Amino acid sequence: MNKLKSLFEHKCPKCGGTLTASYDSISSSKSCPACSYKEEIHAALGVRIIHDPAK
């Protein structure tokens, strides 16, 4: 479980808030309800997409 925990750190890098994680068969995503930061991870493609509205 420790490995999983470090792989999916549920803390927003922008504001330090708790991220909400969701998973489906092709991807996983984490989003921050406080600042709209969002990460999408497509493990099969080796792609990580970061949505950062502040940039």
- The residue ranges that bind Zn ion (CB under 5 A) are 12, 14-15, 17, 32, 34-35, 37
Least distance to Zn ion from the beta carbon of 38, Å? Answer: 9
Residue 14: phi and psi, rounded to 5, are -85, -50
Pick between residue 20 and residue 43 the one whose CB is nearest to Zn ion: 20
Paired tokens of 28: 């996983």
Least distance to Zn ion from the beta carbon of 31, Å? Answer: 9
Least distance to Zn ion from the beta carbon of 25, Å? Answer: 27
Give the integer Cα–Cα distance in Å for 36 and 1. Answer: 27
- CA nearest neighbour of 53 among 43, 39, 45: 39
